[in-house]
Structure 1
Amino acid sequence: MKGIFWAACVAVAAGAFCGCKASKPSALETTFVSWVKHSITVGGSHDRNPFPATAENVDEGRQAFTQYCSVCHGLDGQNTGVPFADTVSPPVPSLDSREVQSYSDGQLKWIIQNGIMPSGMPPAQGLFSDEDMWKMVLYIRHLPPKGSLGEPSVYGGAGK
């Protein structure tokens, strides 16, 4: 009798796990999660970047970004050369995307500083100064064209 009970439990559990399938979220789910992140979970919406977008500041931001962020986001911030970017869940976002660019500078700095769990975005607090993180935000605002790994537009290149 015990053997039948356990066999039934294993069959039910196997059926439940086989029936579980992760699928791409619907447009409604994506919109809702984006709203929650922008309005509730990501802080810093009223913080202002104290550094102007000069070529020197953007370049310093690029250097800090290259040390820490390029492993997941690519040197161009748009996942170029990152083979796993689309295969992890959730996928690594292109930092040039409308969703990422719609965050305020303060929110981008907050994300760099605190990370977003459980997305896989780790916190950089303690690894970089506030100045470095603000300058990373400047680089994110002036990314080079996708795949070019060229100079950001602030240098007068072919960027945005």
Structure 2
Amino acid sequence: MPEAWAARENPLPLSTEALARGEQVYQQYCSACHGPLGQGDGLAPAVAYFDPSPTNLALHGPAHGAAEYAWIISEGNAESAMPRFDTKLSEKEIWSVVHYIRHGLADEQDEQYAQAHQH
């Protein structure tokens, strides 16, 4: 990641509105490959052939910095099938989906785990 990106922080405050917008963007642009819950199990026909396979964002979401995700979403990843979205998404949409990846997906996975393991 270029230094110019490494120093960036998410300009959007973390809020229910930002998470809701991020979820909309995620479901429209990301879930086909990363799966509806971010587990790397998308239903796009080519996903089974991706090498490397799509990242499990629900597992890795909070472990990576906001700038790292914003850069990958904007610029794509030449070492994977991750396309660039800088021409499809506004900066606000990119940062809102970063909030959703780092906060919403992990929370959803924790909630599902807790519900599945209630006795």
TM-score by length of 2: 0.77
* Amino-acid identity (%): 31
1:123 maps to amino acid? R
**Matched residue, 1:65:** 26
**CA drift at 1:87:** 4.6
1:45 touches 1:105 (CA, 8 Å); kept in 2?
Answer: no
RMSD: 2.2
Q: Which structure is richer in relative contact order (CA contacts within 8 A, separation 6 or more)?
A: 2
**Matched residue, 1:78:** 39
**CA drift at 1:60:** 0.2
Task: Identify the structure with the greater helix proportion.
Answer: 2
Indicate the SS of the match to 1:97.
helix
**CA drift at 1:145:** 1.5
1:95-118, Cα deviation, whole Å (9 max, x unpaired):
1234x5332101110100000013
**Matched residue, 2:91:** 130
**CA drift at 1:88:** 2.2
1:73-125, Cα deviation, whole Å (9 max, x unpaired):
11111134537656521111101234x53321011101000000130100001
- Which structure would you say has the larger Rg? 1
TM-score by length of 1: 0.59
**CA drift at 1:69:** 0.6
**Count of residue pairs the alignment pairs up:** 106
1:10-64, Cα deviation, whole Å (9 max, x unpaired):
xxxxxxxxxxxxxxxxxxxxxxxxxxxxxxxx23221010112211110001101
